[in-house]
Structure formats: C-alpha cells, structure tokens
Amino acid sequence: MRIRLLWAWYGVLATLVGIGLAHLAAALSDPAASPVLAVGSTVIDLTPTPMKEWAIRTFGSADKAILVGSVLAGVVVLAALAGVTARRRFALGAGALVALVGVAAAAVLTRPAASPLDLVPSVVAALAAVGALRVLAQVDARARQRTAAGDPGRRTVLLAMTALGAMATAGGVAGRLVTSLRARPEDVALPAPADPAPALPRGLDDQVPGITRFRTPNADFYRVDTRLDVPVLSADDWTLTIDGDVDRTVRITFDELLAMPMVERDITLTCVSNSVGGPYVGGARWLGVPLTDVLDLAGIGRTKADQILSTDFAGMTISTPLALATDGRDALVAVGMNGEPLPREHGFPVRLVIPGLYGFISATKWLRRLTLTTYAEQEAYWTERGWATDAPIKISARIDTPKALSELDAGDVVVGGVAWAQERGGIAGVQVRVDGGRWVDAQLGPDGGDDYWRQWFYRWSAEPGSHRIAVRAVAGNGEPQTAARAEPFPNGASGLHELLVRVS
C-alpha cells in the first residue's frame, strides 16, 4: 500500500509539473488556452441553467474558484490512478496522462475563437507530465537498487520530488507574473469627455451605517460572467468590427475609438442572476462613445436587423434588441469606469454598457464585434440556453441594514438600502412595512439620475420581539414594484425584499 501511495504521488506531481508549465506557456500566448481553464469553461457551458443559478446563489463570486478547484480535484484523482498504473506498466500510465491532457486539448479547440496555436500549452503539459513521470520512475528504480545493496537511496527520490515540485510552482507563479505584466489598463490614457456627467451628489454613505455606497468602487463591483480567468488583452492590437446587415463593414482601432467624442454617464448595472435583495448590482460612472455613433460608422438606416449580436474576444456572444439599444437611452461602447480605464475584470479595453437591460443582453465585456442580424438567423449564448431576448431590469428595492436575523436593541433603528428603476424615470419613492402593517414612506437620498440607483432610509421605533421588515419601490413614471415572486430565469427575479430581525 505504501508503494502504491508513493506512485500515486508520482502521478500527481508529474501532472502538476505539466499544469504549471502549461500555465506559463499559455501566459506567453493566450491565457485562455490554459488546459485547466479550458476544461472548466467547457464544464460551465455544459452545466444546466438551474445548476448554474444554484451555484451563483450559494457561492456568489467564489463560484469560479470552486469550479476550478473541483476540476483540479478531479485531475488529481485521475493523475494518481495514472501514477499507480505506471508502476507496473509505465507506457500505460504515461498514456493515461496523455489522454487526460487530450481531454483538455479538446476543450481548448471547442472555444469559438480557437486556433491551432492554442494547443501549444496542452502539448507542453503532456510532454512535461510524461517527462516528469519518467524522471521519477527512473530515480525510484535507482533508489530501490541502492536500498537492496545497503545504500540508503530514498533521499534521491525526495530530492527529485522536491525539485519537480519547485518546477511546478515556478511555472505557475511565472505564468501569473507574465499575465499581470501584459497590457496593463493603467498604462492607457483616457481622453476627457466631450459631454461630462454632472458632479455626483454626496450620498448617505457616512450618514447611514451599513448602507451600500452611492458609487461602487471598481474593486467592489460585482462580477458575474462565464469566464474562469480574467482575459489579458492589449489595447494596441484591439479592433472593433461592425458588420452584418449594414451599409458597409467597418473596423476601428482603439485609438480611433478614443478619438471619437466621449460622454460620461452614471449608470447602474444589474445581473439577471441577481435574486431579490441580492448583491449583483452596482453603480458607476462610465466613459465611452455612444453606441449609435459607432453603429452609424457602418450605416444602419436601411437595416432589416432586429438584434445586435455582440461578440467578445473569445467568441462569446450576447444579443441586444436593436430597437432598445437605439431608442435614445445612453448606450455606450465604454472604455472607462469611475475615472479609470476599465479594469481587466470588467472588460478592458472595451465593453458595452446599456442602461435598463440586464447584463446578459447588454453588457458584453472584452468586446470585439458588433453584428447587425436577426433573432431568426443567429442565436446568442444565453438565447440558446432559454433565457429571454427582451429583459428590461425590474423595479427593485433592497434592504442593506439591518441584516437578516440581526439582534437589535429596542428603540430608534435605521433601516436603509438602495433602490433602482432604470428607464422608468428613476426612483420616485420607497416605502417600508413592518409586520405586515401599512406602508410608510422612507426618506430618499440624493438623485444620481434616472439610470442610477438611489439610497433610502427609514427611522423605525423598534419594540422587543421578532419583526418582519419589507420594502418596495415606486418608479418615476408611477409604476410600483411588483410583489409577484419570480426566479431569475428567464428574465430576472421579482418580488419584495423581506427580512426577519429580533429586537430585545
């Protein structure tokens, strides 16, 4: 049994060497070609929608780390079996490692934008893993011969394992370092907007403890997408293609985009996976070129298209109703976020930002192509999976403080949070209800515009006991928030945010 465990470790260590060096090779070419990330991305694509929604609700932003960890755990188990097999028949064990890498290579090739060069990291992984296993097998054989002759040779095995472990670690660390140094967003100089946004009023951040900040810092802005890695793209070789049912196909560079008149807008984004009272919503100041200005470069006056099919750098597609994207709302081809170039996590160098529509039909990150087409001709990623094609953001209010199941002291308690109603005149009112009683008007924070969320608070005289607090919003056009409960799939969650607290 001890010998089998040792050979299992040989298999795992050899595989880790392959993964580490493959990660480095991917960092030098295309980080998305990393075998583990490719397998993880394929798993995401094959996962049923209800299971994806469960993962997002349960694990939040940690869902991707958990998925990568799960993929690695499966790889480790299979690598251990390959190592045990190699003890009796090395060729069979080595073949198992190659087959394992072959699965990853197949996943790499299934990416929409894959090329033959993307197989290089997988080839590196296979060669490195088999080579490391061969070294360990040879060192093990020599050690056993020395032990039989009375010479303590096991030390050479330990040294070999340590050296290979260091190689695996160095490859992974070097890969991350190379990735971090490529195409840094902070090296981009953004132009001043031709149409700047007015100064954002001071929010209630310092007045109501526990309330969401009026402007979400870039580092705290939610991230929900299908990618396991953060793409590393260069603005220098970025281009945007506008094609499809247009007068002429147009391709513009990043510098050409920056030379167009820029506008600034305060816009709140919401993910369709956001449950009632959920965290996947944030407000930021965006800098970009109006989407209609970009489309006009290609000419769309005679188009018969009913959707904009936007494509990211890796071939991921999102569909946006053309009529909604061009109805006068502040749809942007964005390059800046809160006064800085877009962070990598949020689409550097260029993304779409379209107010009033859930992100899965409006907020393509790492944008590379805009295609004017019809829903009958082409289906986007989420459309193929049964999500709605027309998904306006629903009116919603959230309680930030107090937290659910809090233990509170009797007396004056401040209840507060945020509410949003994009493309409906913003938020005109927020009301709070305690224990099913009458609705009472809350006090609104400053107004950041119709497409921006609004803070609110209510001073409650809390008495001892258990209490249920609920909140609802009213849009500027008079439309109230619905109490009808709906899950995120297929066009966004609805219902009132309610929570239970205990007062003593």
Sign of CA dihedral 270, 356, 214, 488: negative
Read off φ and ψ for residue 458, nearest 5 degrees. Answer: -140, 130
pLDDT of 284 strictly over 70: yes
Query: To the nearest whole percent, how much of the chain has pLDDT over 70?
Result: 91
Instruction: Quick: pLDDT tens for 146-182.
Output: 665 544 456 777 787 788 778 888 877 887 777 666 6
User: Please, is 319 exposed, middle or buried when counting C-beta atoms within 10 Å of its C-beta (0-12, 13-18, 19+)?
Assistant: buried
- Greater confidence (22 vs 336) lies with 336
Q: Which CATH superfamily is domain 218-384 in?
A: Oxidoreductase, molybdopterin-binding domain (3.90.420.10)
How large is the average pLDDT for residues 11-25?
Answer: 87
In the prediction, which pLDDT does 215 show? Answer: 98
How large is the average pLDDT for residues 322-333?
Answer: 97
Model confidence at 377, pLDDT cuts 50, 70, 90, reads very high
Please report how the helices 63-88 and 90-109 are oriented relative to each other, as an axis angle in degrees rounded to 10.
150
Q: How many CB atoms within 10 Å of residue 113?
A: 14
Instruction: Quick: pLDDT tens for 443-499.
Output: 999 999 999 999 999 999 999 999 999 999 999 999 999 999 999 999 999 999 999
Model confidence at 142, pLDDT cuts 50, 70, 90, reads confident
In the prediction, which pLDDT does 180 show? Answer: 66
Please report how the helices 63-88 and 2-28 are oriented relative to each other, as an axis angle in degrees rounded to 10.
130
Domain boundaries, the chain: 2-181, 218-384, 396-503
Rounded to a whole number of angstroms, the distance between the first and last alpha carbons of the chain is 60
In the prediction, which pLDDT does 154 show? Answer: 65
In the prediction, which pLDDT does 456 show? Answer: 98
In the prediction, which pLDDT does 117 show? Answer: 79
Mean pLDDT of the chain: 89
Model confidence at 37, pLDDT cuts 50, 70, 90, reads confident
pLDDT of 227 strictly over 80: no
pLDDT of 297 strictly over 90: yes
Model confidence at 49, pLDDT cuts 50, 70, 90, reads low
How far apart, in Å, are the Cα atoms of 69 and each of 32, 37, 66, 384, 443?
A: 17, 11, 5, 27, 45
**Lowest mean pLDDT: which of 123-137, 197-211, 463-477?**
123-137
Instruction: Return the CATH number of the domain spanning residue range 396-503.
Output: 2.60.40.650
How large is the average pLDDT for residues 102-128?
Answer: 82
Model confidence at 230, pLDDT cuts 50, 70, 90, reads confident
Strands 367-373 and 239-244: parallel
For 288, the enclosing helix (H) or strand (E) is: strand 281-290
In the prediction, which pLDDT does 150 show? Answer: 47
CB distance 82 to 96 below 8 Å: yes
Same fold across 218-384 and 396-503:
no
pLDDT of 40 strictly over 90: no
DSSP 262: P
**Lowest mean pLDDT: which of 122-136, 256-270, 389-403?**
122-136
Distance (Å, whole) CA 102 – CA 100: 5
Radius of gyration in angstroms for the set of CA atoms belonging to the chain, rounded to a whole number: 27
Nearest to 316 by CA among 380, 391, 375, 363: 380
How large is the average pLDDT for residues 186-203?
Answer: 95
